[in-house]
């Protein structure tokens, strides 16, 4: 390194054989991801040091004198990645639905793009987080690392955590008697129980029941409390000669041009009632059904005939009807027209062709 005039922090790699002989491999003109182990056992901030060296400081000025650098304790680093050990460590990609890391005394976390909602792309490094455990001996560092890894909760993508835990539990690893054949000679490292993911399954089930109702009959004979909503009564119906006429009559008799002309000549504010669509996609958990809408429709037709329109379709209404309510949205429009013949229906038109309560691929 002196011969080539190298001045800064770097990584020198060697191989060590069973007889204790060292064999030089290469020099990396940068810090490797494993530099955290050196930092933990020496107390030296290598990243900060290399920046100060690049600024012109000397090793002596930074207090980096070889004779004074002592290693204290043991440190282990695990790279938590979105790699599937069962598929030859093939990188996985997708959305992180849940991300919670393990922490505690003697644990250091160097995180990458790891948070709930993060998109793990197949085009970049699969690293989520570097976990570094430090203790006074190798066994203690290994125990801390196992505890921290078990506390991780990552959902949405596969990770290498089960494999790492198996390595940390292995007798040869904790004895420090491992070599480059360790993984090949121990296929049992790939034998582990998959995550049961009980908490997320339970939450998904509760959400499903909240929105769709129970999938089975109730376990007791006790009936749930009933709340009857009685819609306002109306005395005028579409077949009555005194039934009020609205903008729908103009549209039927004169077509779109006549309707547009009537709008331009209208001197007062025109109103559109959006509650038929908004209620359908509201905090009522998207559970306003056709039967609920039809109950109030006669009252709207008789008492709000001067409305310009009713916004009752478009947006995510079809998605809600078909995906959750198991209803036909077109049959709903036909039934509503029978109940409300005097007010035009309006559709919410978006600039995207895929709107719904789910995640769609980018090419939809």
Could you report the per-residue pLDDT of 196-210, keeping only the tens digit for each? 888 888 988 888 877
90 close to 44: Cβ distance less than 8 angstroms: no
The per-residue pLDDT of the chain, averaged, comes to 88
Higher pLDDT, 231 or 245: 245
Please choose, from the candidates 31, 7, 12, 33, the residue with its C-alpha nearest in 3D space to the C-alpha of residue 23. Answer: 12
Give the confidence band of 363 by pLDDT, cuts at 50, 70, 90: confident
pLDDT of 353 higher than 80: no
pLDDT of 85 higher than 80: yes
pLDDT of 183 higher than 80: yes
- Specify the range with the lowest mean pLDDT, choosing from 3-7, 124-128, 189-193: 3-7
- Specify the range with the lowest mean pLDDT, choosing from 25-29, 88-92, 134-138, 314-318: 314-318
Give the confidence band of 218 by pLDDT, cuts at 50, 70, 90: low
| Annotation marks residue 30 as catalytic | yes
Residue 240 pLDDT:
84
pLDDT of 113 higher than 60: yes
CA 52 to chain centroid, in Å, comes to: 39
- Specify the range with the lowest mean pLDDT, choosing from 127-141, 323-337, 350-364: 350-364
- Both structure tokens of 219: 């376990």
Distance CA 167, CA 170 (A): 5
Q: Name the catalytic one among 30, 95, 323, 337.
A: 30
pLDDT of 356 higher than 70: no
| Whether the model pTM is above 0.85 | no
Residue 177 pLDDT:
87
Residue 207 pLDDT:
82
Residue 204 pLDDT:
86
Residue 361 pLDDT:
73
pLDDT of 285 higher than 60: no
- Range 145-172 average pLDDT: 95
Burial class (CB in 10 A: 0-12, 13-18, 19+), 257: exposed
Where are the chain's structural domains? 11-194, 247-348
pLDDT more than 70, % of the chain: 90
- Specify the range with the lowest mean pLDDT, choosing from 233-237, 328-332, 340-344, 357-361: 357-361
Give the confidence band of 223 by pLDDT, cuts at 50, 70, 90: low
Give the confidence band of 106 by pLDDT, cuts at 50, 70, 90: very high
Residue with tokens 């198996």: 166
Distance CA 271, CA 248 (A): 14
Residue 195 pLDDT:
81
pLDDT of 286 higher than 80: no
pLDDT of 225 higher than 80: no
Residue 224 pLDDT:
57
What CATH code is assigned to 11-194? 3.30.470.20
pLDDT more than 90, % of the chain: 57
Residue 226 pLDDT:
65
Give the confidence band of 284 by pLDDT, cuts at 50, 70, 90: low
SS3 127: strand
CA distances to 302, 329, 356 from 314, in Å: 24, 10, 11
Please choose, from the candidates 137, 122, 146, 139, the residue with its C-alpha nearest in 3D space to the C-alpha of residue 173. Answer: 139
- Range 60-85 average pLDDT: 94
């Amino acid at each position: 390194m002196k011969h080539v005039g190298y001045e800064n922090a770097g990584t020198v790699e060697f191989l060590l054989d069973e007889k204790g002989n060292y064999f030089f491999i290469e020099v990396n003109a940068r810090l490797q991801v494993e530099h955290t182990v050196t930092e933990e056992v020496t107390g030296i901030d290598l990243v900060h040091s290399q920046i100060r060296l690049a600024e012109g400081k000397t090793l002596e000025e930074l207090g980096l004198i070889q004779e004074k650098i002592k290693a204290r304790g043991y440190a282990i680093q695990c790279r938590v990645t979105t790699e599937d050990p069962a598929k030859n460590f093939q990188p996985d990609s997708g959305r992180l639905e849940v991300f919670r890391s393990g922490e505690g005394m003697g644990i250091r976390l160097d995180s990458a793009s790891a948070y709930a909602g993060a998109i793990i792309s197949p085009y970049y490094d699969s690293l989520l987080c570097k976990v570094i455990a430090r203790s006074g001996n190798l066994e203690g560092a290994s125990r801390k690392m196992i505890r921290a890894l078990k506390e991780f909760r990552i959902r949405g993508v596969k990770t290498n955590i089960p494999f790492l835990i198996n390595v940390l539990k292995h007798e040869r690893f904790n004895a420090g008697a491992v070599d480059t054949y360790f993984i090949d000679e121990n296929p049992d490292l790939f034998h582990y129980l998959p995550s049961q993911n009980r908490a997320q399954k339970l939450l998904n089930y509760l959400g499903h029941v909240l929105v769709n109702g129970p999938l089975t009959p109730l376990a007791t004979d006790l009936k749930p409390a009933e709340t009857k909503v009685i819609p306002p009564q109306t005395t005028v119906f579409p077949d009555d000669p005194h039934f009020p006429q609205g903008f729908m009559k103009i549209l039927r008799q004169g077509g779109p041009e006549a309707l547009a002309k009537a709008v331009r000549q209208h001197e007062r504010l025109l109103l559109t009632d959006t509650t038929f669509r908004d209620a359908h996609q509201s905090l009522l958990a998207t559970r306003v059904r056709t039967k609920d809408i039809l109950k109030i429709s006669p009252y709207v037709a008789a008492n709000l005939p001067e409305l310009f329109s009713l916004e009752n379709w478009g947006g995510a209404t079809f998605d809600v009807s078909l995906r959750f309510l198991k209803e036909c949205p077109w049959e709903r429009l036909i039934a509503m027209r029978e109940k409300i013949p005097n007010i035009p229906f309006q559709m919410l038109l978006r600039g995207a062709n895929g709107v719904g309560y789910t995640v769609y691929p980018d090419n939809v």
